[in-house]
Chains A and B, each alone.
Chain A
C-alpha cells in the first residue's frame, strides 16, 4: 500500500524524480502481480484440470515479465523457454494423454484441502517475513549496478547483462555450474533406467 502511495506521489511531483524509482516499471509490476495472484488462486480453485494448467501459464509467464522488469533479459527468456515452452507443455501433454475431461470435474478436491491452505499460509508468512526483514529497506539502483559491471559505458556494454551472466557461469561459478550439469545428467539417466522395461 505504501508503494502505491509513493507511486501516486511520484506522478504528482515529476520535478523531483528519484533516480532509483521507475514509475512505468512499478505500474507494470503491480499489474502483473495482480494478474499472477488471481491466476495462482484460479490454479487451485478451478474445477477443470486443463484450465488449472492453463492458469499456470499466466503465473509462470508473469514471473518472466518480472525478470524483464529487473532487466534480467537472459533469465526471462530462459523462463519462457523452459517453463512455458517445456514444463507447461509437458504437464498439458501428460494430462491430455491420460484423462482430461471437458467441463466440471467433481473429484479434484480431497480431504487434505484445509491442511494445504494452512501450509500455504505458513509458507507465505515465513517467506514474506524473511524477505521484508532482509531486503525491506533496500532500493534497486540499476545505474550503480551497471557502473560496477562497466555496463554504463556504451563502448564496453556490447555484450550487456547477458554477457555478464555468461562470464559469471563460465568464470567464477564454473564448478557449481558443472556440478548441476552432472546432477541433471544423473537424473536423466535415472529416468531412462526407471522407464526401461528390460
Chain B
C-alpha cells in the first residue's frame, strides 16, 4: 500500500489509519441511515400504498434523527434477574462484529482501512462473531422468549454460515486471490471470450454463487423470510425483547449496517466493486472520486433487493429453514465449486 494518498501528502502511519477509520465510520453511518430512510421508511410505505413519515423535514427525511433522539432519551432498563454485565456487553459484541467487516471493503484505489491478503476470509470470519453476541443477549436477559430466540438465531447463523462461505469460494477460484482489491482488479481487467467492453463481472460466470450468497446473507441478517429468531407472533422480539433505549438502538444500527456491509461485499465480489472496466481507460486520479460513489450505488441497490425480499415473502417454518440450508444450498454451492474448478483449469 502506498503511503501517498490522493493529494500527494506524506502522512505518518497513525495519521493515515486515523483518517481511514474516521472516513470509514462516516461513510458507514451515512449509508446505513440512507438505507433505513430509503427502504424501511419510504420503499415499504409505497409497497403498502401509504406515504410513510412526512412530518419531520421535507418528505420526512429527518425522521431518522427524530427516531434516534427518541431512543437516546428513553430509559435504559435491564430485567431484575438479568446478568447485567453480559446483558450490557452483548450489543457491543454485535456492533463490533459489524464494524470489523468494513475494515477490508475497498472503495477506491487507496480507500480501504486495511488491505489484508486474506480480505474476504477476514470479513466472513468477523461476521460470524455476531452470533456470540446474540447468544449472550438471549441468555443474559433471563427471559425464556429471549433464550428461544437466541437459540434459533444460533442454529440459523451456523447453518447459513456454510453456504455463505462456500459460495464465495467460486469467486476466489476465478480471481485467484482472497484479497478484495485483487478480486476487483480481476473483474476490471477481465474479458468475456476476448471482449473486454465491460470487464468480466463475476455475476455472469458465478450467477449460482451470487444467488446462494444473497440467500445466505438474507438468513445471516435474520430478515424475513428467515426471521424465525425474532418472530414477533411467537417470540415477541426474540433475543431483543428485553432491550430498550440506547442498547436497542445499537442492535438496530448493527442490523442495517450489516446489511450494507454484506451488500458492499456482494457488489465487490460479483458486480465489479468500485472499479470500472479497464478498457474504459479511466485513470486512478478520477477513480479516487468515482470509486466510492460507484460501490455505494451498487451496495444500496443490493440492500434494496434484500428489503424487497423481506417485505414480499412470508416466514419460513424452522424445519423448512434448516432443510433449505443443509439440503439445497450447501450441495449446490459444493457443485458450483467443483464446476468452477473444472472450468478454471479447462479454459
In the complex the two chains form, what is the Cα distance from A100 to B138 in whole Å? 11
Q: Interface size class for chain B?
A: 20 to 34
Cα A163 to Cα B157 in complex, Å, equals 29
Q: How far is the CA of A102 from the CA of B136 in the complex (A)?
A: 12
Contact at A85–B161, with CB atoms within 8 Å?
Answer: yes
A93 lies within 8 A of B132 (CB): no
Q: Are B126 and A80 interface neighbours, CB within 8 A? A: yes
Interchain CA distance A93-B128 in the complex, whole Å: 14
Check if A162 is an interface residue, CB within 8 A of chain B. yes
Q: Which residues of A contact B116 (CB under 8 A)?
A: 73
Min CB distance A70 to B, Å, is 15
Whether B135 and A80, one on each chain, are in contact in the complex, defined by CB atoms closer than 8 angstroms, is no
The answer to whether A73 touches B161 (Cβ under 8 A) is: no
> DSSP class of A's interface residues: helix, strand, loop or mixed?
helix
Residue pair A89, B154 in contact (C-beta under 8 Å): yes
Contact in complex: A102, B121 (CB < 8 Å): no
**Chain B residue, CB-CB nearest to A160:** B117
Q: Please measure, in the bound complex, the distance between the C-alpha atom of A78 and the C-alpha atom of B118, giving whole angstroms.
A: 10
Name the A residues within 8 Å of B125 (CB-CB).
77-78, 80-81, 85
Is the CB of B124 closer than 8 A to any CB of chain A? yes
Counting chain A residues whose Cβ lies within 8 A of the other chain, the interface size class is 20 to 34
B129 near A96 (CB under 8 angstroms)?
A: no
Taking A96-B147, A162-B178 as contacts, is the C-beta distance between A84 and B135 under 8 angstroms? no
List residues 44-65 of chain A with CB under 8 A from any CB of chain B.
50-51, 54, 57
Contact at A163–B117, with CB atoms within 8 Å?
A: yes
**Cβ of A102 and Cβ of B81 under 8 Å apart?**
yes
Q: CB-CB < 8 A to A162: which residues of B?
A: 117-118, 178
- Which of B83, B131, B151 is A102 in contact with, Cβ under 8 Å? B83
- Is A77 a contact of B132 with CB atoms below 8 Å? no
User: A166: nearest residue on chain B (CB-CB)?
Assistant: B178
Contact A89 B158 (CB under 8 A): yes
B160 CB–A CB distance under 8 Å: no
Complex interface residues of chain B between 74 and 133 (CB less than 8 A to chain A): 81-83, 86, 116-118, 121-122, 124-126, 128-129, 131-132
Taking CB atoms, residues of chain B closer than 8 Å to A41 are: none
Q: Do A85 and B129 form a contact, CB below 8 Å, given A77-B118, A93-B151, A102-B81?
A: yes
Is B139 a contact of A96 with CB atoms below 8 Å? Answer: yes
B155 on the interface (CB 8 Å rule)?
A: yes
Known: A50-B139, A78-B121, A81-B121. 17 other contacts (CB 8 A): A51-B86, A54-B86, A57-B132, A74-B117, A77-B118, A78-B125, A80-B126, A84-B128, A86-B161, A89-B157, A92-B154, A93-B135, A96-B147, A102-B82, A102-B139, A102-B140, A162-B117
Residue numbers of B with Cβ under 8 A of A are 81-83, 86, 116-118, 121-122, 124-126, 128-129, 131-132, 135-136, 138-140, 142, 147, 150-151, 154-155, 157-158, 161, 177-178, 182
The contact sample of 17 A-B pairs, CB cut-off 8 A, is A51-B86, A57-B132, A80-B125, A80-B126, A80-B129, A81-B124, A84-B128, A84-B132, A85-B128, A88-B132, A89-B128, A89-B131, A90-B158, A96-B138, A96-B139, A161-B117, A162-B117
